[in-house]
Amino acid sequence: MNEDAMDEEEILLKLKEYKSNDLSYSSGRILGSMCSGTSSFAKKVYLDFLDSNLGDPGLFKGTKSLENQVIKEIASFLSLENPYGNVVTGGTEANLMAMRSAINTAKLRGIIEKNHEGEVIVPKSAHFSFNKSSDMLGFKLIEADLDEEYKVDISSVKELITQKTVAIVGIAGTTELGMIDPIEDLSKIAIENNNHPDIQESIYLHVDAAFGGFSIPFLRELGYDLPNFDFEYPAVTSMTIDPHKMGMAPIPAGCIIYREKKYLDAIAIKSPYLTSKEQYTIVGTRLGAPSAATWAVMQEMGKNGYIELANNCFVNAHFLANALKKENFKLVTKPQLNLVAFNHEKIETNELARLLEERGWIVSISSCPKAIRIVLMPHIKHTHLVSFLRDLREIKTSLGY
Ligand code: 0PR
């Protein structure tokens, strides 16, 4: 640490140097991210609320109302009129809160004893945040198979249900391929396979819509043939949906939404000396700025803004998918959302990613199956795709294919 105070000019200069090593979304070169930057208006709002702490909401009643409003407005396009939940740091924390609620609910229902290991069934395609949850909460993660379209195989889920099952997870927009699991069928089996005759409720069904939650409803409204995934289905108990992905909000902003208050109550911890007598969230001192900025972005965009955004990303995904097919690349599956994964029968995928990186394109690689994974986020424009495809063609030609 420097002995004496450094002047602001000098600090800013050093910061600029560090920042010059970061990539920018606007370059169009970040092809494997699920974040996309935010509007300058949202950044201004964020700064304005930087000191507000939702860990002590009685001091920041205005910001608390904004958090409630965000949950309510999001739930309004997820078929839920009276939602309960929080704005948290992202999909990982939202999934962790859901799993905590599922386990505590199972204890309350007598499905598992205190300190008894419960089981959560997730699709093989689930995000690694469920592995983190399992590690932290001590439940056993049971992986269900996928069908030929990389969606969860319902019969596999059904076979895996036991007396110890505390939750089933479905995904609306998988991380690696953007596929939508059949939530309607999961809801049915969660109701029909409740193995505890004395318990009325269905098995706890959590939907991870961290990625797809902010686009599927709007694409459906435009008439695209996509399945519903929301609280319309009676077993859906909670949902993760991230404003900092397709919602265009600044990082960190994820949401956990519960169908009923009892699922939030199941994770309440007393905080007697604070302005709120209980806390549900994992963190104590809690940023208010993301709630304010998310609310502001949602007003700035409006429903029509989200419809246009989702459509543009979807159109770009289809443009890319079709162009790749013409170049003899193999699509892993027909894209359901704004995510395209592809490989080439003669070119090793890691090598292709390396050659693309040499030309400045940062892609990610999906593991199941191995493929280049491009997430068509709002910062990726048609012109970026045209130059990406040109580079891809040149790479292919240079390798003799
Ligand atoms: N659920 C799903 C379906 C996800 O895809 C993700 C993250 C999460 C939960 C966890 O969300 P948080 O990362 O907000 O906690 N999906 C992206 C991924 O792992 C996150 C990401 C975003 C990664 C931007 C890289 C990046 O540059 O791919």
> SS in 3 state form for the chain?
CCCCCCCHHHHHHHHHHHHCCCCCHHHCCECCCCCCCCCHHHHHHHHHCCCCECCCHHHCHHHHHHHHHHHHHHHHCCCCCCCEEEEECCHHHHHHHHHHHHHHHHHHCCCCCCCCCCEEEEECCCCCHHHHHHHHHCCEEEEECECCCCCECHHHHHHHCCCCEEEEEEEECCCCCCCECCHHHHHHHHHHCCCCCCCCCCCEEEEECCCHHHCHHHHHHCCCCCCCCCCCCCCEEEEEECCCCCCCCCCCCEEEEECCHHHHHCCCEECCCCCCCEECCCCCCCECHHHHHHHHHHHHHHHHHHHHHHHHHHHHHHHHHHHHHHCCCEECCCCCCCEEEEECCCCCHHHHHHHHHHCCCECEEEECCEEEEEECCCCCCHHHHHHHHHHHHHHHHHCCC
* Percent of the chain topping pLDDT 90: 93
With a 6 A CB cut-off, is 210 part of the ligand 1 pocket? Answer: yes
Does the beta carbon of 214 lie inside 6 Å of ligand 1?
no
Q: How many whole angstroms from 379 Cα to the centroid of ligand 1?
A: 17
175 pocket-lining for ligand 1 (C-beta < 6 Å) = yes
Cα 92 to averaged position of ligand 1 atoms, centre (Å): 8
The matching CATH number, chosen from 3.40.50.720, 3.40.50.9100, 3.90.1150.10, 3.40.50.150, for 19-39+303-398 is 3.90.1150.10
Both tokens of residue 141? 């993660």
326 C-alpha vs ligand 1 centroid, how far in Å? Answer: 30
- Over residues 59-66, the mean pLDDT reads 98
* Best mean pLDDT range from 102-116, 264-278, 376-390: 376-390
Ligand 1 atom with the shortest distance to the CA of 175: 5
Cα 152 to averaged position of ligand 1 atoms, centre (Å): 19
Mean predicted confidence (pLDDT) in 376-398: 98
**Of 350, 336, 341, nearest to 375 (Cα)?**
341
**CA 50 to centroid of ligand 1, rounded, Å:** 24
pLDDT band of 111, cuts 50, 70, 90? confident
In angstroms, the CA 3 to CA 351 distance is 48
Q: Is the CB of 230 under 6 A from ligand 1?
A: no
Which atom of ligand 1 sits closest to the CA of residue 93?
Answer: 15
Does pLDDT of 195 surpass 70? no
One CATH from 3.30.9.10, 3.40.920.10, 3.40.640.10, 3.30.70.1290 for 41-298: 3.40.640.10
Task: Look at residue 345 in the predicted model and tell me its pLDDT.
Answer: 95
pLDDT category at 115 given cuts 50, 70, 90 is: low
Residue 114 has pLDDT above 80, yes or no: no
Residue nearest to atom 9 of ligand 1 (CA): 91
Q: Which residue has a Cα nearest atom 17 of ligand 1?
A: 34
Mean pLDDT, range 342-364, rounded to an integer:
97
Q: What is the pLDDT of residue 198?
A: 65
**Average pLDDT score over residue span 341-369:** 96
pLDDT higher than 80, residue 197? no
Ligand 1 probe mutation, 27, 34, 246, 339, most atoms within 8 A of CB:
34
Start and end residues for every CATH 3.40.640.10 domain found in the chain: 41-298
33 Cβ closer than 6 Å to some ligand 1 atom: yes
pLDDT digits (tens, 9 = 90+) for 221-236: 999 999 999 999 999 9
Given this model, what pLDDT does residue 116 score? 67
Tokens of 168: 């089933």
Distance (Å) from CA 213 to ligand 1 centroid: 13
Q: Is 127 in the pocket of ligand 1 (CB under 6 A)?
A: yes
For 62-90, what is the mean pLDDT?
A: 98
- Closest protein CA for atom 21 of ligand 1: 34
pLDDT band for position 63 (cuts 50, 70, 90):
very high
Regarding the beta carbon of 208 and ligand 1, being less than 6 Å apart is answered: yes
Per-residue model confidence (pLDDT) at position 110: 85
Report the candidate in 176, 236, 210 with the shortest Cα–Cα distance to residue 367.
176
Is the distance from the beta carbon of residue 90 to the nearest atom of ligand 1 less than 6 Å?
yes
Task: Identify the residue with better confidence: 323 or 199.
Answer: 323
Average pLDDT over residues 345-359: 97
pLDDT band at 199 (very low <50, low <70, confident <90, very high): low
Is the model's pLDDT at 21 over the cut of 70? yes
Atom of ligand 1 nearest to the CA of 30: 27
Of 109-113, 168-172, 268-272, 291-295, where does mean pLDDT reach its minimum? 109-113
Task: Over range 305-320, report the average pLDDT.
Answer: 98
Ligand 1 geometric centre to CA of 167 (Å): 21
Of all protein residues, the one whose alpha carbon is nearest to atom 28 of ligand 1 is 175
CA of 34 to the centre of ligand 1 (A): 6
Cα distances (angstroms) measured from residue 252 to each of 85, 105, 365? 16, 27, 24
Mean pLDDT of the chain: 96
Task: Confirm or reject: Cβ of 366 under 6 Å from ligand 1.
Answer: no
Answer whether 379 contacts ligand 1 (Cβ < 6 A): no
Task: Work out the percent of the chain whose per-residue pLDDT is above 70.
Answer: 98
Residue nearest to atom 22 of ligand 1 (CA): 34
Task: Give distance in angstroms: CA of 174 to centre of ligand 1.
Answer: 10
Question: Per-residue pLDDT tens for 132-190?
Answer: 999 999 999 999 999 999 999 999 999 999 989 999 999 999 999 999 999 999 999 99
pLDDT of residue 354: 98
- Tell me what pLDDT residue 113 has: 77
Ranking 24-33, 125-134, 192-201 by mean pLDDT, the lowest is 192-201
Tell me the C-alpha distance between 72 and 69, whole Å: 5
Whose alpha carbon is nearest atom 18 of ligand 1?
175
pLDDT at 76 over 80: yes
Give the residue-averaged pLDDT of 373-388.
Answer: 98
What tokens were used for 223?
């008439």
Residue span(s) of the chain under CATH 3.90.1150.10 come to 19-39+303-398
